[in-house]
Amino acid sequence: MSIYLDHNATTPIDERVFEAMLPYLKGSCYGNPSSQHRQGRESQQALEHARAQVAMLVGVRPRQVIFTSGGTEANNLALKGMVAAGSGLVVAATEHSSVLEAASALQQCTDCPLAFVGVDEDGVVSTAEFERVLAEHKTALVSVMLANNETGVVQDVEQLSEIARRRGVIMHTDAVQALGKMDIDFDGLGVSAMSLSAHKIGGPKGVGALVVEKGLMLQPMIHGGGHEAGLRAGTENLAGIVGFGEAAALIQLGLEARTEHCERLRDRTEQVLQKIAGVVVFAQQVKRLSNTLFFAVEGIEGSTLLMSLDRDGIAVSSGSACASGSGEPSHVLKAMGVDDSLAHGAVRVSFGSSNTMKDVEQLISTLQEQVESLLKLNSGWT
Ligand SMILES: Cc1ncc(COP(=O)(O)O)c(C=O)c1O
Protein backbone atom coordinates (compact mmCIF):
# COMPACT_ATOMS: atom_id res chain seq x y z
CA MET A 1 0.00 0.00 0.00
CA SER A 2 1.24 3.46 -0.81
CA ILE A 3 -0.62 6.67 -0.11
CA TYR A 4 0.92 9.95 -1.27
CA LEU A 5 -0.16 12.94 0.83
CA ASP A 6 2.63 15.38 0.04
CA HIS A 7 1.26 17.28 -2.94
CA ASN A 8 2.64 20.62 -1.73
CA ALA A 9 6.16 19.18 -2.04
CA THR A 10 5.49 18.01 -5.57
CA THR A 11 2.78 16.38 -7.65
CA PRO A 12 3.05 13.31 -9.85
CA ILE A 13 3.33 14.21 -13.51
CA ASP A 14 0.00 14.03 -15.33
CA GLU A 15 -0.01 11.28 -17.98
CA ARG A 16 -1.28 13.75 -20.62
CA VAL A 17 1.56 16.14 -19.77
CA PHE A 18 4.06 13.34 -20.20
CA GLU A 19 2.56 12.45 -23.61
CA ALA A 20 2.78 16.09 -24.71
CA MET A 21 6.45 16.24 -23.70
CA LEU A 22 7.55 13.01 -25.37
CA PRO A 23 8.08 14.35 -28.93
CA TYR A 24 10.43 17.00 -27.49
CA LEU A 25 12.48 14.39 -25.64
CA LYS A 26 12.85 11.54 -28.08
CA GLY A 27 10.72 12.34 -31.10
CA SER A 28 11.07 14.52 -34.13
CA CYS A 29 10.86 17.87 -32.31
CA TYR A 30 14.49 18.49 -31.49
CA GLY A 31 15.10 21.85 -33.15
CA ASN A 32 16.60 24.72 -31.21
CA PRO A 33 13.85 27.36 -30.88
CA SER A 34 16.43 30.02 -31.83
CA SER A 35 17.27 28.30 -35.14
CA GLN A 36 15.72 29.68 -38.28
CA HIS A 37 15.14 26.47 -40.22
CA ARG A 38 11.91 24.45 -40.15
CA GLN A 39 12.86 22.37 -37.10
CA GLY A 40 13.77 25.52 -35.21
CA ARG A 41 10.57 27.27 -36.19
CA GLU A 42 8.49 24.29 -35.05
CA SER A 43 10.19 24.36 -31.67
CA GLN A 44 9.68 28.12 -31.46
CA GLN A 45 5.98 27.60 -32.12
CA ALA A 46 5.76 24.99 -29.37
CA LEU A 47 7.53 27.37 -26.99
CA GLU A 48 5.13 30.19 -27.77
CA HIS A 49 2.11 27.89 -27.50
CA ALA A 50 3.22 26.86 -23.98
CA ARG A 51 3.78 30.52 -23.09
CA ALA A 52 0.22 31.31 -24.16
CA GLN A 53 -1.12 28.38 -22.09
CA VAL A 54 0.66 29.57 -18.93
CA ALA A 55 -0.37 33.18 -19.63
CA MET A 56 -4.01 32.13 -19.98
CA LEU A 57 -4.00 30.42 -16.57
CA VAL A 58 -3.15 33.67 -14.78
CA GLY A 59 -4.83 36.13 -17.14
CA VAL A 60 -1.86 37.85 -18.77
CA ARG A 61 -0.44 38.37 -22.25
CA PRO A 62 2.05 35.68 -23.34
CA ARG A 63 4.90 38.18 -23.52
CA GLN A 64 4.55 38.77 -19.77
CA VAL A 65 5.69 35.18 -19.06
CA ILE A 66 9.45 34.58 -18.63
CA PHE A 67 10.30 30.89 -18.38
CA THR A 68 12.81 29.88 -15.70
CA SER A 69 14.19 26.68 -14.22
CA GLY A 70 11.49 26.71 -11.53
CA GLY A 71 10.00 28.67 -8.66
CA THR A 72 13.36 29.12 -6.96
CA GLU A 73 14.89 30.84 -9.97
CA ALA A 74 11.74 32.92 -10.54
CA ASN A 75 11.95 34.19 -6.95
CA ASN A 76 15.66 34.94 -7.32
CA LEU A 77 15.07 36.73 -10.62
CA ALA A 78 12.29 38.83 -9.11
CA LEU A 79 14.32 39.97 -6.13
CA LYS A 80 17.75 40.29 -7.73
CA GLY A 81 16.32 41.65 -10.98
CA MET A 82 14.12 44.32 -9.43
CA VAL A 83 16.11 45.66 -6.50
CA ALA A 84 18.78 48.13 -7.46
CA ALA A 85 21.87 48.25 -5.21
CA GLY A 86 21.26 50.28 -2.09
CA SER A 87 17.48 50.40 -2.42
CA GLY A 88 15.41 48.66 0.24
CA LEU A 89 13.81 45.23 0.29
CA VAL A 90 11.03 43.96 2.56
CA VAL A 91 9.91 40.32 2.69
CA ALA A 92 7.41 38.46 4.86
CA ALA A 93 8.95 36.36 7.63
CA THR A 94 7.12 33.25 6.42
CA GLU A 95 8.40 33.27 2.84
CA HIS A 96 9.86 30.19 1.15
CA SER A 97 13.63 29.77 1.59
CA SER A 98 14.17 30.79 -2.06
CA VAL A 99 12.89 34.26 -1.19
CA LEU A 100 14.49 34.49 2.26
CA GLU A 101 17.91 33.30 1.06
CA ALA A 102 17.84 35.47 -2.08
CA ALA A 103 16.95 38.46 0.11
CA SER A 104 19.75 37.71 2.52
CA ALA A 105 22.25 37.30 -0.37
CA LEU A 106 21.16 40.69 -1.76
CA GLN A 107 21.68 42.26 1.63
CA GLN A 108 25.16 40.79 1.94
CA CYS A 109 26.33 41.37 -1.63
CA THR A 110 24.81 44.76 -2.42
CA ASP A 111 24.28 46.33 1.00
CA CYS A 112 20.57 46.38 0.21
CA PRO A 113 18.70 47.19 3.45
CA LEU A 114 16.45 44.28 4.35
CA ALA A 115 13.45 44.23 6.70
CA PHE A 116 10.83 41.63 7.53
CA VAL A 117 7.06 41.85 7.82
CA GLY A 118 5.83 39.74 10.71
CA VAL A 119 2.71 37.60 10.74
CA ASP A 120 0.07 37.12 13.43
CA GLU A 121 -0.49 33.86 15.33
CA ASP A 122 -2.43 32.46 12.36
CA GLY A 123 0.34 33.26 9.90
CA VAL A 124 -1.45 36.23 8.33
CA VAL A 125 0.29 39.48 7.31
CA SER A 126 -1.98 42.19 8.71
CA THR A 127 -2.40 45.43 6.80
CA ALA A 128 -1.38 47.35 9.94
CA GLU A 129 1.93 45.47 10.24
CA PHE A 130 2.51 45.83 6.50
CA GLU A 131 1.90 49.60 6.65
CA ARG A 132 4.15 49.91 9.70
CA VAL A 133 7.10 48.11 8.10
CA LEU A 134 6.82 50.02 4.83
CA ALA A 135 6.60 53.30 6.75
CA GLU A 136 9.62 52.53 8.94
CA HIS A 137 11.97 51.07 6.32
CA LYS A 138 13.26 52.43 3.08
CA THR A 139 11.59 50.07 0.57
CA ALA A 140 11.78 49.70 -3.18
CA LEU A 141 10.42 46.16 -3.39
CA VAL A 142 8.24 44.06 -1.11
CA SER A 143 7.62 40.33 -1.48
CA VAL A 144 4.72 38.51 0.17
CA MET A 145 3.69 35.03 -0.95
CA LEU A 146 0.14 34.31 -2.07
CA ALA A 147 -0.16 30.96 -0.26
CA ASN A 148 2.21 29.44 2.24
CA ASN A 149 3.68 26.03 1.44
CA GLU A 150 3.54 24.79 5.06
CA THR A 151 0.33 26.20 6.54
CA GLY A 152 -1.51 26.87 3.28
CA VAL A 153 -2.40 30.36 4.60
CA VAL A 154 -3.55 32.67 1.80
CA GLN A 155 -2.51 36.31 2.15
CA ASP A 156 -4.66 39.20 0.99
CA VAL A 157 -2.14 40.16 -1.68
CA GLU A 158 -4.67 42.37 -3.45
CA GLN A 159 -5.05 44.59 -0.41
CA LEU A 160 -1.32 44.56 0.41
CA SER A 161 -0.36 45.53 -3.15
CA GLU A 162 -2.72 48.48 -2.99
CA ILE A 163 -0.93 49.75 0.11
CA ALA A 164 2.45 49.17 -1.54
CA ARG A 165 1.39 51.01 -4.69
CA ARG A 166 0.16 54.01 -2.69
CA ARG A 167 3.65 54.20 -1.21
CA GLY A 168 5.37 53.84 -4.59
CA VAL A 169 6.72 50.40 -3.65
CA ILE A 170 6.68 47.59 -6.21
CA MET A 171 5.45 44.20 -5.09
CA HIS A 172 6.28 40.60 -5.95
CA THR A 173 4.33 37.54 -4.92
CA ASP A 174 5.40 33.91 -4.84
CA ALA A 175 2.34 32.09 -6.18
CA VAL A 176 4.04 28.71 -6.52
CA GLN A 177 1.74 26.96 -4.03
CA ALA A 178 -1.40 28.88 -4.95
CA LEU A 179 -1.24 27.95 -8.63
CA GLY A 180 -3.84 25.35 -9.52
CA LYS A 181 -5.35 25.48 -6.03
CA MET A 182 -7.19 28.80 -6.37
CA ASP A 183 -8.11 31.24 -9.14
CA ILE A 184 -5.26 33.60 -9.87
CA ASP A 185 -5.75 36.79 -11.82
CA PHE A 186 -2.41 38.59 -12.09
CA ASP A 187 -3.93 42.02 -12.76
CA GLY A 188 -6.43 41.58 -9.94
CA LEU A 189 -3.62 40.87 -7.48
CA GLY A 190 -2.05 44.20 -8.43
CA VAL A 191 1.54 42.97 -8.15
CA SER A 192 4.38 43.73 -10.55
CA ALA A 193 5.78 40.19 -10.63
CA MET A 194 4.66 36.70 -9.66
CA SER A 195 6.54 33.37 -9.44
CA LEU A 196 5.17 30.04 -10.67
CA SER A 197 6.42 26.45 -10.82
CA ALA A 198 5.28 23.55 -13.01
CA HIS A 199 5.85 20.58 -10.71
CA LYS A 200 3.20 21.69 -8.24
CA ILE A 201 0.46 21.39 -10.88
CA GLY A 202 1.16 18.03 -12.51
CA GLY A 203 3.97 19.37 -14.69
CA PRO A 204 7.66 18.42 -14.77
CA LYS A 205 10.28 19.50 -12.24
CA GLY A 206 12.87 22.08 -13.23
CA VAL A 207 10.63 24.57 -15.01
CA GLY A 208 8.72 27.61 -13.84
CA ALA A 209 8.06 31.20 -14.76
CA LEU A 210 8.20 34.76 -13.57
CA VAL A 211 5.14 36.68 -14.71
CA VAL A 212 5.80 40.40 -15.00
CA GLU A 213 3.81 43.55 -15.41
CA LYS A 214 4.10 45.20 -18.82
CA GLY A 215 6.99 47.65 -18.94
CA LEU A 216 8.60 46.43 -15.69
CA MET A 217 12.32 47.18 -15.47
CA LEU A 218 14.09 43.91 -14.69
CA GLN A 219 17.77 43.00 -14.78
CA PRO A 220 18.66 39.48 -15.97
CA MET A 221 20.47 37.12 -13.59
CA ILE A 222 21.78 34.84 -16.32
CA HIS A 223 23.57 36.57 -19.17
CA GLY A 224 24.11 35.16 -22.64
CA GLY A 225 21.93 35.04 -25.76
CA GLY A 226 18.74 37.03 -26.04
CA HIS A 227 16.41 34.24 -24.90
CA GLU A 228 13.25 35.11 -22.98
CA ALA A 229 13.34 38.74 -24.12
CA GLY A 230 16.90 39.04 -22.87
CA LEU A 231 15.83 38.28 -19.31
CA ARG A 232 16.93 34.64 -19.00
CA ALA A 233 19.65 33.47 -21.34
CA GLY A 234 20.15 29.83 -22.33
CA THR A 235 18.61 27.42 -24.79
CA GLU A 236 15.15 26.74 -23.45
CA ASN A 237 14.16 23.52 -21.65
CA LEU A 238 11.63 22.94 -24.39
CA ALA A 239 10.23 19.59 -23.25
CA GLY A 240 9.83 21.00 -19.74
CA ILE A 241 8.19 24.16 -20.99
CA VAL A 242 5.80 22.23 -23.24
CA GLY A 243 4.93 20.12 -20.17
CA PHE A 244 4.36 23.25 -18.09
CA GLY A 245 2.04 24.65 -20.78
CA GLU A 246 0.05 21.42 -20.95
CA ALA A 247 -0.17 21.19 -17.15
CA ALA A 248 -1.38 24.82 -17.03
CA ALA A 249 -4.10 24.11 -19.59
CA LEU A 250 -5.23 20.97 -17.73
CA ILE A 251 -5.17 22.36 -14.20
CA GLN A 252 -7.59 25.08 -15.23
CA LEU A 253 -10.26 22.46 -15.82
CA GLY A 254 -12.29 21.42 -12.81
CA LEU A 255 -10.58 23.75 -10.34
CA GLU A 256 -13.74 24.12 -8.26
CA ALA A 257 -14.47 20.40 -8.10
CA ARG A 258 -10.83 19.68 -7.21
CA THR A 259 -10.67 22.22 -4.39
CA GLU A 260 -13.98 20.97 -2.98
CA HIS A 261 -12.76 17.37 -3.14
CA CYS A 262 -9.52 18.23 -1.32
CA GLU A 263 -11.42 20.25 1.25
CA ARG A 264 -13.68 17.29 2.06
CA LEU A 265 -10.63 15.07 2.57
CA ARG A 266 -8.85 17.69 4.66
CA ASP A 267 -11.90 18.48 6.81
CA ARG A 268 -12.60 14.82 7.53
CA THR A 269 -8.96 14.30 8.62
CA GLU A 270 -9.07 17.41 10.75
CA GLN A 271 -12.33 16.40 12.39
CA VAL A 272 -10.83 13.14 13.64
CA LEU A 273 -7.41 14.59 14.47
CA GLN A 274 -8.97 17.13 16.80
CA LYS A 275 -10.35 14.36 18.95
CA ILE A 276 -6.82 13.14 19.69
CA ALA A 277 -5.50 14.72 22.89
CA GLY A 278 -2.59 17.09 22.35
CA VAL A 279 -3.25 17.78 18.65
CA VAL A 280 -2.93 21.38 17.52
CA VAL A 281 -4.00 22.35 14.00
CA PHE A 282 -2.25 25.47 12.73
CA ALA A 283 -3.99 28.37 10.96
CA GLN A 284 -7.33 26.63 11.16
CA GLN A 285 -9.35 29.82 11.56
CA VAL A 286 -8.06 31.70 8.53
CA LYS A 287 -8.24 31.40 4.76
CA ARG A 288 -6.11 28.41 3.76
CA LEU A 289 -5.52 26.30 0.67
CA SER A 290 -8.21 23.63 0.76
CA ASN A 291 -5.71 20.79 0.37
CA THR A 292 -3.34 21.69 3.22
CA LEU A 293 -3.36 20.51 6.82
CA PHE A 294 -0.51 21.46 9.15
CA PHE A 295 -0.65 20.10 12.68
CA ALA A 296 1.44 18.91 15.60
CA VAL A 297 0.91 16.44 18.42
CA GLU A 298 2.29 17.60 21.74
CA GLY A 299 5.06 15.31 22.91
CA ILE A 300 5.79 13.72 19.51
CA GLU A 301 8.55 14.74 17.10
CA GLY A 302 7.19 15.47 13.61
CA SER A 303 10.08 13.60 12.01
CA THR A 304 9.34 10.51 14.15
CA LEU A 305 5.70 10.52 13.13
CA LEU A 306 6.71 11.07 9.50
CA MET A 307 9.04 8.05 9.58
CA SER A 308 6.46 5.78 11.19
CA LEU A 309 3.84 6.82 8.64
CA ASP A 310 6.39 6.24 5.89
CA ARG A 311 7.02 2.72 7.20
CA ASP A 312 3.28 2.11 6.81
CA GLY A 313 3.33 3.45 3.25
CA ILE A 314 1.93 6.93 3.92
CA ALA A 315 3.95 9.89 2.63
CA VAL A 316 3.58 13.21 4.46
CA SER A 317 6.03 15.98 5.27
CA SER A 318 7.36 17.50 8.46
CA GLY A 319 7.20 21.12 7.31
CA SER A 320 8.47 22.28 3.93
CA ALA A 321 10.45 19.77 1.86
CA CYS A 322 13.46 22.07 1.87
CA ALA A 323 13.40 22.60 5.62
CA SER A 324 12.73 19.02 6.66
CA GLY A 325 15.76 17.15 7.83
CA SER A 326 17.39 20.42 8.91
CA GLY A 327 16.61 19.71 12.58
CA GLU A 328 15.45 23.31 12.97
CA PRO A 329 11.79 23.92 13.74
CA SER A 330 9.83 25.50 10.90
CA HIS A 331 10.60 29.22 10.49
CA VAL A 332 6.95 29.69 9.55
CA LEU A 333 5.76 28.39 12.92
CA LYS A 334 8.46 30.41 14.68
CA ALA A 335 7.17 33.55 12.97
CA MET A 336 3.67 32.63 14.18
CA GLY A 337 4.98 32.53 17.73
CA VAL A 338 4.56 28.76 18.13
CA ASP A 339 6.63 27.22 20.91
CA ASP A 340 9.78 25.45 19.66
CA SER A 341 8.78 22.17 21.29
CA LEU A 342 5.39 22.14 19.54
CA ALA A 343 6.89 23.39 16.26
CA HIS A 344 9.28 20.41 16.31
CA GLY A 345 6.22 18.19 16.16
CA ALA A 346 4.79 19.74 12.99
CA VAL A 347 3.52 17.47 10.23
CA ARG A 348 2.07 18.61 6.93
CA VAL A 349 -0.51 16.61 5.02
CA SER A 350 -1.27 17.96 1.54
CA PHE A 351 -3.95 16.32 -0.58
CA GLY A 352 -4.26 16.07 -4.34
CA SER A 353 -7.09 15.20 -6.70
CA SER A 354 -5.97 11.55 -6.89
CA ASN A 355 -6.51 11.02 -3.15
CA THR A 356 -9.69 9.35 -1.98
CA MET A 357 -11.73 9.10 1.22
CA LYS A 358 -10.29 5.57 1.55
CA ASP A 359 -6.80 7.14 1.75
CA VAL A 360 -8.09 9.45 4.47
CA GLU A 361 -9.60 6.60 6.50
CA GLN A 362 -6.31 4.72 6.23
CA LEU A 363 -4.36 7.82 7.30
CA ILE A 364 -6.67 8.40 10.24
CA SER A 365 -6.52 4.87 11.61
CA THR A 366 -2.72 4.68 11.13
CA LEU A 367 -2.28 8.07 12.79
CA GLN A 368 -4.45 7.12 15.74
CA GLU A 369 -2.48 3.91 16.32
CA GLN A 370 0.91 5.54 15.90
CA VAL A 371 0.20 8.56 18.06
CA GLU A 372 -0.99 6.28 20.83
CA SER A 373 2.04 4.01 20.66
CA LEU A 374 4.55 6.89 20.31
CA LEU A 375 3.06 8.66 23.33
CA LYS A 376 3.25 5.44 25.36
CA LEU A 377 6.84 4.95 24.25
CA ASN A 378 7.73 8.53 25.19
CA SER A 379 6.20 8.16 28.62
CA GLY A 380 8.19 4.96 29.23
CA TRP A 381 5.00 2.85 29.31
CA THR A 382 5.30 -0.49 27.49
C1 LIG B 1 6.11 28.64 -1.96
C2 LIG B 1 7.21 28.05 -2.79
N3 LIG B 1 8.02 28.87 -3.47
C4 LIG B 1 9.01 28.40 -4.23
C5 LIG B 1 9.26 27.06 -4.33
C6 LIG B 1 10.39 26.58 -5.19
O7 LIG B 1 9.92 26.06 -6.42
P8 LIG B 1 10.84 25.06 -7.26
O9 LIG B 1 10.81 23.75 -6.55
O10 LIG B 1 10.17 25.01 -8.61
O11 LIG B 1 12.18 25.67 -7.32
C12 LIG B 1 8.46 26.16 -3.63
C13 LIG B 1 8.73 24.71 -3.68
O14 LIG B 1 8.50 23.98 -2.73
C15 LIG B 1 7.40 26.67 -2.84
O16 LIG B 1 6.60 25.87 -2.13
Confidence label for 328 from pLDDT (cuts 50, 70 and 90): confident
Q: What pLDDT was estimated at residue 376?
A: 83
Distance 283 CA to ligand 1 centre (A): 20
Half-sphere exposure of 75 (CA within 13 A, CB side): 25
- Residue 326: band (very low, low, confident or very high) from pLDDT cuts 50, 70, 90: low
pLDDT at site 323: 47
158 and 33 in a common domain = yes
The string of pLDDT tens digits covering residues 225-281 is 999 999 999 999 999 999 999 999 999 999 999 999 999 999 999 999 999 989 999
**Cβ(177) – ligand 1 distance below 6 Å:** yes
Same domain, 117 and 205: yes
The DSSP call for residue 172 is E
Residue 325 has what pLDDT? 53
pTM: 0.96
311 shares its domain with 347 = yes
Do residues 99 and 143 make contact, with C-beta atoms less than 8 angstroms apart?
Answer: yes
- Ligand 1 near 207 CB (within 6 A): no
Statement: residue 305 has pLDDT above 60: yes
What is the rounded CA–CA span in Å between residue 236 and residue 244? 13
Same-domain pairing of 227 and 280: no
Q: Nearest residue CA, atom 8 of ligand 1?
A: 71
Q: Going by C-beta distance under 8 Å and a sequence separation of 6 or more, which residues neighbour residue 168?
A: none
Q: In this predicted structure, what is the pLDDT of residue 319?
A: 64
Is the minimum distance from the CB of 70 to ligand 1 under 6 angstroms?
yes
Q: How far apart are CA 240 and CA 47, in angstroms?
A: 10
Give dist(CA 68, CA 60) in Å, integer.
17
Q: 146 CA distance to ligand 1 centroid (A)?
A: 12
Between CA 100 and CA 322 the distance in angstroms is: 12
Average pLDDT over residues 329-334: 96
Domain boundary residue, one of 251, 285, 312 = 251
Burial status of residue 344 (CB atoms within 10 A of its CB: 0-12, 13-18, 19 or more): buried
Please check whether residues 191 and 63 belong to one and the same domain. yes
Residue 192 has pLDDT above 90, yes or no: yes
At residue 321, the pLDDT reads 45
Whether residues 239 and 262 fall in one domain = no
Mean pLDDT of the chain: 94
Q: Are residues 293 and 277 in the same domain?
A: yes
pLDDT the model gives residue 277: 86
What is the rounded average pLDDT of the residues 98-121? 95
Show Cβ contacts of residue 228 under 8 Å, excluding neighbours closer than 6 positions.
Answer: 66, 67, 236
Say whether pLDDT at 133 is over 90. Answer: yes
pLDDT at 320: 47
The CB of 146 under 6 Å from ligand 1? The reply is no
Q: What is the CATH number of the domain that holds 360?
A: 3.90.1150.10
**CA distances from residue 25 to 34, 121, 241 in whole angstroms, order as listed:** 17, 47, 12
Same domain for 232 and 360, yes or no, is no
Residue nearest atom 14 in ligand 1 by C-alpha distance:
9
| Residue 190 shares a structural domain with residue 43 | yes
- The residue out of 251, 266, 296 marking a domain boundary is 251
Question: End of a domain among 251, 277, 301?
Answer: 251
- 174: CA distance to ligand 1 center in Å? 8
pLDDT at 34: 96
Q: Are residues 263 and 217 in the same domain?
A: no
Distance CA 203, CA 183 (A): 18
Amino acid at 6: D
Q: Is 98 in the pocket of ligand 1 (CB under 6 A)?
A: yes
Ligand 1 centre distance from Cα of residue 280 (Å): 26
- Closest residue by CA, ligand 1 atom 4: 71
Per-residue model confidence (pLDDT) at position 13: 97
Asked if 188 and 258 sit in the same domain, the reply is: no
Spatial strand order of the sheet with 346-350 comes to: 279-281, 292-297, 346-350
Q: What is the mean pLDDT of residues 61-65?
A: 98
Yes or no: say if 20 and 243 are a contact pair by the CB < 8 Å rule.
Answer: yes
Q: Tell me the three state secondary structure of residue 68.
A: strand
Q: How many domains in the chain? A: 2
Q: Which pLDDT value is given to residue 131?
A: 97
Tell me whether residue 29 is one of the annotated catalytic residues: no
**How much distance in Å is there from the Cα of 27 to the middle of ligand 1?**
30
d(Cα 229, Cα 199) in Å, to the nearest integer? 24
Does the Cβ of 202 fall within 6 Å of ligand 1? no
pLDDT at 318: 87
- 269 ligand 1 Cβ < 6 A: no
> What is 99-157 written as a DSSP string?
HHHHHHHHHHHH---EEEE---TTS---HHHHHHHHHHS--SEEE--SB-TTT-BBP-H
Ligand 1 atom closest to the CA of 321, numbered from 1: 14
* Closest by CA position to 118, among listed 134, 129, 107: 129
**Domain enclosing residue 52, as ranges:** 15-251
For the stretch 209-230, pLDDT in tens is 999 999 999 999 999 999 999 9
- Identify which of 100, 197, 210, 237 to mutate to test ligand 1's pocket (most ligand atoms within 8 A of the CB): 197
- Ligand 1 centroid to 176 CA: how many Å? 6
pLDDT 10s digits, 149-184: 999 999 999 999 999 999 999 999 999 999 999 999
The tens digit of pLDDT for each residue in 11-54 reads 999 999 999 999 999 988 999 999 999 999 999 999 999 999 99
Ligand 1 contact, 152 CB (< 6 A):
no
263 shares a domain with 229: no
SS3 62: helix
Q: Nearest to residue 278, comparing CAs of 357, 376, 151? A: 376
